[in-house]
Copies of this chain bind each other. A is one copy, B any other.
Amino acid sequence: MLIVVYVFSALIIALAFFYAYQLIQWVKQQKNENAEVARIAGLIRSGADAFMRKEYLILALFAGVMAVLIFLFLPRPVWIQESIGKNLQMAICYILGTIFSAVAGKIGIFVAALANARCAEAAQEDIKPAFLIGFRGGAVMGLVVVALCLLGVMGVMIFVGDASVLLSFSFGASSLALFAKAGGGIFTKTADVSADLAGKVELGIPEDDPRNPAVIADNVGDNVGDVAGMGADLFDSNVATMAAALVMATATGMSAKSPAMVFCYAALGLLASIAGIYLCDIKEGGSPTKALNMSTYTATGIFLALTALATLIFGFEWRYWAASAVGLLVGVVIGLATNFFTDDNMPIVRKVAKASAAGPAFTILSGVSYGFLSALPSMIGIALSALIAHRLGGMFGIAMAAVGMLSIVGTIISNDAYGPIVDNARGLAEMGGLGEDAIRVADELDSAGNTVKAVTKGFAVGAAGLTVISLLGAFLEEVNEVIIRLGGTVEHLIKGFDIMDPSVFFGVLVGAAIPAVFSAMLILGVDKNAQRMIAEIRRQFTEIEGLAEGKEGVEPDYNRCIDIATTGALRELIPAGLIAIVATILVGFIGGVPAIGGYLLGNIAVGLLLALFLSNSGGIWDNSKKYVEAGNEGGRGSDAHKAAVIGDTVGDPFKDTAGPSINTQITVVSLVASLLAQVFVSIHLF
């Protein structure tokens, strides 16, 4: 049966690539005539390319070193007899994981750069054509990410046939995601915060004004942070989910049909996303938010129906279908809860806007408080879905719930990549002088992107939650495999991690602190990097004659700003990433396998909490600023507005740098733990 599923999956993958190609062609055919817009779009594209070149260069170095280490030590030291073949497989799969993810990111950026200019021009006509360009441009990214993920996982399973090696492929994807998401996140917020503070606040020039030296970097940031970064993040989650599910599906005692079911469900998820994207449409003058959400719900419904059919036809077990349905539905519920807290039609955002009237301290206090409160429904959702999925099908049930939650990830990425495209289009409409109407349309599209982004982020965190729970299961499988290999018997196997065991407890407390430290280092990174960039912006306004006045032909040096953002982002990212990895290794050496079990648990629990808190409080501040700007609580220029702007600036690195990077940090740490299982079994202090 596995063969049938493979062929079937391959067809769907081919369909996805074909459809993505069609969409690219369609985007290309759209009008792109305004020379100024094209010129600025060119600047953005080359800025994004410059960042990605540098990022991929450093990543290549990093990946090279890692690959050598993996080859030398994993799964066993290479000098141990008969290990060399396996070690080579691990190293190659690791490299492939980084390459696949990098290719997906590259394609996403490429399409985003095509779509943004065309979307801006279409915005001169009406909301419908502009929306479709933004949506279909984003959809390419969604389709490519999921198709590449499936292709890679299937390739490894067919050519290597060992699910453990998948963890190495997954680790490759995570390494890239760490760079793309956290590095891109620092980049984008450095540029955003600096452009705002040095331009809007200090000089009083409008947003997206071409005189601002950081304006191109700001637009580049949307691409590298939100398109490439989010894509890499979800590529990573998706691979990790499938890897965890397949490690468990191929464990002893599982039905032979299990791996086929994992593939079948993932492929049907891709098919459902294709359908959701294909069916997405908007009426003339219709609501883009509704259209985006409708594509998500359509994909959800189709996925549930198709998998039920497949379960019937192939005779899979219904309880796993139910587990994946629980996962998917909880994902939707988390999305709705997030929406309740971050949508400016809902009471919370308005309360924070109202508090802003009393001063910025109250903006911060209320935003932090509601951010913490907003984590509760999602935490309960993840906890309950894990509990129910486990009752349905054990640890594998949890893995299937994660597969379910991530099944429609194609649609999620589409909606996510839509955001930066229309955000860029807004900038291009402003800078290219396309007129008030075009800016208004682009603003409406942008606002829909922000609303939907909150929901997709909730979804991403939820999915990451279930994924890392399954990675915990995968870690245990790996440990026991090592124990058996070292000559242990069934009694030696580790059945679980008892929190009354002080080593586990030790791990929990240290693991709990790591996401906080990681977030703090990223936020401080943005802070430091922005200081450098603000100094550069001030320098340009002082030293370049005629720049501040907007003299014809005088241009700022955009590249210097891009360069500062790039170098700084990568420099600030590396210590944050290293501390998480080094802490894992130290905890493993101190307390052994039990400590690592606890460490992963602490990391997951706090990581989820902080990811939700940071993303949601940032979203609340962003939208309450917009709510004030729409004329409420005194509108623009009022004290409430000033306070709301401060809240938004605080929220920027919360929601776009630290919050979404925590997922990746958790995944990286979980994979490092699984990969080093052998070492921790053999060597530890206590």
Give A residues with C-beta under 8 Å from B. 193, 197, 201, 355, 358-362, 364-366, 368-373, 375-376, 379-380, 382-384, 386-387, 390-391, 395, 398, 465, 469, 472-473, 476, 495-510, 512-513, 516-517, 519-521, 523-524, 526-527, 531, 534, 590-591, 597-598, 601-602, 605-606, 608-609, 613, 646, 649-650, 653, 686
Contacts and interface: CB of A to CB of B under 8 A. Distances in A.
A502 B368 contact: no
B502 A473 contact: no
28 contacts: A358-B531, A365-B523, A365-B650, A366-B524, A368-B520, A369-B521, A370-B520, A370-B524, A372-B520, A373-B516, A373-B521, A375-B517, A376-B517, A383-B507, A386-B502, A386-B506, A387-B590, A387-B591, A387-B686, A390-B505, A495-B498, A495-B500, A496-B501, A498-B499, A499-B601, A508-B605, A509-B608, A605-B606
A364 to B, nearest CB: 5
Contacts of A524: 365-366, 369-370
Contact of A505 (B387, B391, B502): B387
B606 A512 contact: yes
B365 A534 contact: no
A598 B500 CA distance: 10
Given A355-B527, A500-B395, A505 B383 contact: yes
Contact of A516 (B383, B387, B591, B609): B609
B472 A519 contact: no
Contact of A359 (B197, B372, B499): B197
A498 B609 CA distance: 21
- Looking at A365, A380, A465, A519, which has the most chain B CB atoms within 10 Å of its CB? A365
Contacts of A387: 502-503, 505-506, 590-591, 686
A523 B373 CA distance: 11
A502 B384 CA distance: 9
A605 B371 CA distance: 19
A503 B650 CA distance: 37
Contacts of A496: 498-501
A197 B362 CA distance: 11
Contacts of A380: 509-510, 513
For chain A, what secondary structure do more than half of its interface residues adopt (helix, strand, loop), or is it mixed?
Answer: helix
Given A370-B520, A372-B520, 10 more contacts: A361-B650, A368-B523, A373-B517, A380-B510, A383-B505, A386-B509, A469-B505, A476-B500, A496-B501, A606-B606
A20 to B, nearest CB: 37
State the oligomeric state as a number of copies.
2
B506 A360 contact: no
Nearest to A504: B499
Contacts of A508: 383, 601, 605
A682 to B, nearest CB: 20
A686 B598 CA distance: 24
A674 B362 CA distance: 38
A367 to B, nearest CB: 10
Contact of A509 (B523, B605, B649): B605
Nearest to A379: B513
A510 B383 contact: yes
Given A502-B386, A605-B606, A527 B473 contact: no
A507 B358 CA distance: 38
B358 A534 contact: yes
A148 B598 CA distance: 38
Contacts of A465: 509
User: What are the 8 closest A-B residue pairs judged by CB atoms, nearest first?
Assistant: A496-B498, A390-B502, A361-B649, A383-B509, A372-B520, A369-B520, A496-B500, A372-B516
Given A502-B386, A504-B499, A513 B359 contact: no
Nearest to A523: B369
Contacts of A506: 383-384, 386-387
B510 A379 contact: yes
A598 B499 contact: yes
Contacts of A499: 472, 496-499, 504, 597-598, 601
A384 to B, nearest CB: 7
A88 to B, nearest CB: 32
A351 to B, nearest CB: 9
A510 B380 CA distance: 6
Contacts of A358: 197, 531, 534
Nearest to A381: B509
A398 B512 contact: no
Contacts of A370: 520, 524
A376 B513 contact: yes
A199 B568 CA distance: 43
Given A496-B499, A498-B498, A527-B366, A609 B360 contact: no
A515 to B, nearest CB: 9
A382 B608 contact: no
Given A364-B650, A506-B386, A519 B605 contact: no
Contacts of A503: 387
A307 to B, nearest CB: 23
